[in-house]
Structure 1
Amino acid sequence: MNLSKLLILASAMSVSATAFAAGAHSDGHGMGSGEPGKASEASRTITVEMYDNYYEPETIEVKAGETVRFVVENKGNLVHEFNIGTPSMHEAHQEEMMMMVEHGVIQGGKLNRDMMEMDMGNGHSMKHDDPNSVLLEPGESQEIVWTFTGKGNIEFACNVPGHYQAGMYGEVNFK
């Protein structure tokens, strides 16, 4: 690689690292939607299936203060995310997810997990390990245990670029 290409790459990585390290969330990852729960306190389990650009179920009803265990399964052909948060948090998180695509972490139906470990500076990486979210390849499943506070407008969404805009989000309604 010649010197000019190296400088361009280093500059791009520096700008992206600075943006990623600064964080895009005004209300934090999942803040305002609840908090991580304990599996032993879950009142029920909800299975959420992710297909290419929709969820089943599309709406979830919870009680304020309820702890729910989610079993999330990717039944689609693409990488998908299940993320619990406010609409503004999802909008900000989409910028971070775009960087994951730009850096080759998300590659259609595959995740480059080695790239997720890459040091972006200031101790930040592209790990996707927030307690309110899972990012899954086709055929994978994972669990989230979440306690809902009952405040605000809460939804679950896939913030992989273009998926939210295609309708891959659902409502969390409080009973």
Structure 2
Amino acid sequence: MNQRNLLASLVALTLSTSAFAAGEHGGHHGDDSIGEPGKAEDVSRTIDVSMLDNYYEPESISVKAGETVRFRVKNDGALVHEFNIGTADMHEAHQAEMQMMVEHGVIKGDRIDQEMMNMDMGDGHSMKHDDPNSVLMEPGETKEIIWTFTEATDLEFACNVPGHYQAGMYGDIDIE
């Protein structure tokens, strides 16, 4: 195989692997035990969350089973951060996807390359970060998630940008 064909094969393999890894974005990874997107008219309260480098304020959150909460999340840090609702296993799986976003230049320390995020990775997959249980934000941004907690389960909120979870950027969600 000549160098040109070898290079083309490696690029195709990289893109297909990336498409598989990034393909889960867009649906909270199919685990209904974490709850579901809520409706604004059902919100019982708003919880303000501040993301700093590398921790959250507050560090833990309590909700009731069946409660619909609006999370107003602000990135007060100097880096790109994520607020993601899930189980520890879900966060571990999501970290591999986030690593792909860094490797492909979507996440660049303190900014997000929106063009790269929308890049077609093949088979209709992109690197879009549009799960309803998660927001990815540049410094200074504020976004909201409206979420209904359907059952008592071991939940966390976490930042899955590479290294952030490992540095302690996660907190418990206690469901009463």
**Normalization by structure 1: what TM-score?**
0.91
Deviations 1:70-129 (A, max 9, x none): 100000000000000111111100010000000000000010011111111221111111
Q: CA RMSD in A?
A: 1.8
* CA-CA distance at 1:35 after TM superposition: 0.3
- What SS is found at the alignment partner of 1:107? coil
- Percent of pairs with identical residues: 63
Deviations 1:120-173 (A, max 9, x none): 122111111111000000000100000001231001000000000000000001
Give the structure 1 partner of residue 123 of structure 2: 122
Task: List gaps (5 residues or longer) in structure 1.
Answer: none
- What SS is found at the alignment partner of 1:71? strand
Name the CA distance, whole Å, in 2 between partners of 1:29 and 1:109.
30
Name the CA distance, whole Å, in 2 between partners of 1:139 and 1:99.
24
Give the structure 2 partner of residue 151 of structure 1: 152
Q: 1:147 to 1:141 in 2, by over 3 A?
A: same
Residues 60, 174 of structure 2: 8 Å contact kept: yes
Report whether the alignment pairs 1:17 with 2:50.
Answer: no
- What SS is found at the alignment partner of 1:171? strand
Q: 1:31 to 1:44 in 2, by over 3 A?
A: same
**Normalization by structure 2: what TM-score?**
0.90
- What SS is found at the alignment partner of 2:92? helix
Report whether the alignment pairs 1:90 with 2:91.
Answer: yes
Task: List gaps (5 residues or longer) in structure 2.
Answer: none
* CA-CA distance at 1:174 after TM superposition: 1.7
- What SS is found at the alignment partner of 2:115? helix
Q: 1:19 to 1:144 in 2, by over 3 A?
A: closer
Count of residue correspondences: 171
Give the structure 1 partner of residue 175 of structure 2: 174
